[in-house]
Amino acid sequence: MSTFFAFLFWFATAVIILGLAFKIRQYWATPAPLKIPTTPAPTTKSGVVYRMAKEVIVFESLFKSNKWIWLFGWMFHFSLFLVLARHIRYFQEQPWFWVNIIQPFGKYAAFGMVIGLLGLLARRIVVDRVRYISSPSDYLMLIMLIFIGISGLMMQLVLHTDIIAVKEFFLAWMGFSIAELPDSFPLMVHLSLVALLMIVFPFSKLLHAPGVFFSPTRNQVDNPREQRHISDWAAKLETENKG
Ligand code: HEM
Ligand code: HEM
């Protein structure tokens, strides 16, 4: 079993790293021929950084458009952030001091994560116009994350797992060797779903995480009057035509 999980995670790690690198390169190289920031938009670069930070940290535009989705969506994402930060301890011999500080909060974040996800799932089922546009992958994504959260909570509260052994397994795994994983059903479920999450990440809607930074409506400076906007390929064509 330990060997199986070690190979599964090496594979999943390769998929997520290479997949994300490929996608981000593709986003990077995609031309944005038009100036299309959603106005009112910042007129300076630092203004854009501030706007993007608000978008990523507090989901500003979602807040303006729908308070219920914002509440559940933000609760899920913020809790996920805390949970993931708390997990860093499995991968470091001596975790960073801030990882130790957030441990107690991270513990409760699991509830925020699952409640947020259940709210988002209810919305897909209850709200007619959202149900109409929901595809199986929309539901499956939420269900996968809910089961990751529930299996994590099971380990934390009901069927305790030897987390020191889990840590030793992953420390060894990072050095390309295989240690023993504790024999625990919720841990098997948790790790299988996490590997699945990592494998589907670069092929799914989860790409919104890197994608938001490449969104022209959010990342452009509103300065078309001061500076002519011309994408690289168009600039090249222009010089060729002149020549
Ligand atoms: C830069 C980081 C991220 C930002 C700014 C972000 C932001 C958002 C926003 C604004 C939504 C839209 C909510 C809606 O209108 O339905 C959303 C949806 C979603 N996000 Fe993220 N996200 C990030 C990272 C992640 C990550 C790492 C995951 C999972 C591992 C994730 C999972 C989801 C899921 C499953 C939904 C769909 C919820 C639904 O069913 O509507 N997000 N995200
Ligand atoms: C290889 C990666 C991962 C490992 C080794 C791992 C392992 C664990 C372990 C051992 C626990 C039990 C903690 C305890 O008993 O106190 C746990 C809890 C949990 N895990 Fe994971 N996990 C991983 C990835 C993830 C991911 C990607 C997510 C979210 C999408 C997640 C969400 C949770 C949650 C919500 C809990 C319960 C709250 C907590 O203890 O932090 N895990 N995980």
**Tens of pLDDT along 58-72?**
999 999 999 999 999
Q: How confident is the model at residue 233 (pLDDT cuts 50, 70, 90)?
A: confident
Q: pTM for this structure?
A: 0.94
Residue 45 inside a domain? The answer is yes
Residue from 211, 206, 183 nearest 194 by CA: 206
Render the burial of 143-165: b for 16+ CB within 10 Å, e for the rest: ebbbbbbbbbbbbeeeeebbeeb
From ligand 1's centre to the CA of 70, what distance in Å?
Answer: 11
The DSSP annotation for the chain comes to: -HHHHHHHHHHHHHHHHHHHHHHHHHHHHS---S--PPSS--SSHHHHHHHHHHHHHH-HHHHHH-HHHHHHHHHHHHHHHHHHHHHGGGG-SS--HHHHHHHHHHHHHHHHHHHHHHHHHHHHHH-HHHHHH--HHHHHHHHHHHHHHHHHHHHHHTS---HHHHHHHHHHHHTT---PPP--HHHHHHHHHHHHHHHHGGGSGGGHHHHGGG-HHHH--S-TTTS----HHHHHHHHHHH-
Residue 118 inside a domain? The answer is no
Residue nearest to atom 15 of ligand 2 (CA): 156
Q: How confident is the model at residue 237 (pLDDT cuts 50, 70, 90)?
A: confident
Average pLDDT, the chain: 95
Residue 46 inside a domain? The answer is yes
Q: How confident is the model at residue 235 (pLDDT cuts 50, 70, 90)?
A: confident
Q: Which atom of ligand 1 is nearest to the CA of 57?
A: 5
**Domain span at 209:** 2-65+135-242
From ligand 1's centre to the CA of 41, what distance in Å?
Answer: 23
From ligand 2's centre to the CA of 60, what distance in Å?
Answer: 28
Residue 29 inside a domain? The answer is yes
Average of per-residue pLDDT across 86-107: 91
Q: Which-ligand-closest: CA of 170? A: 2
Model confidence over 21-55: pLDDT tens digits? 999 999 999 988 899 999 999 999 999 999 999 99
pLDDT at 236: 84
- Please count the residues of the chain: 243
Query: Is the model's pLDDT at 243 over the cut of 70?
Result: no
Q: Which-ligand-closest: CA of 109? A: 2
Residue 76 inside a domain? The answer is no
Residue 80 inside a domain? The answer is no
Please identify which residue in the block is written with the tokens 């490929």.
Answer: 22
Model confidence over 124-169: pLDDT tens digits? 999 999 999 999 999 999 999 999 999 999 999 999 999 999 999 9
Q: What is the separation, in whole angstroms, between the first and last Cα of the chain?
A: 66
Q: Which atom of ligand 2 is nearest to the CA of 166?
A: 10
Residue 75 inside a domain? The answer is no
- How many domains are contained in the chain? 1
Residue 110 in tokens: 């699991």
Average of per-residue pLDDT across 197-226: 96
Model confidence over 84-95: pLDDT tens digits? 999 999 999 999
Residues contacting ligand 2 via CB (< 6 Å) = 80, 83, 86-87, 90, 106-107, 110, 113, 145, 148-149, 152-153, 155-156, 161, 163, 166, 170, 190, 194, 197
Residue 108 inside a domain? The answer is no
The DSSP annotation for 76-93 comes to: HHHHHHHHHHHHGGGG-S
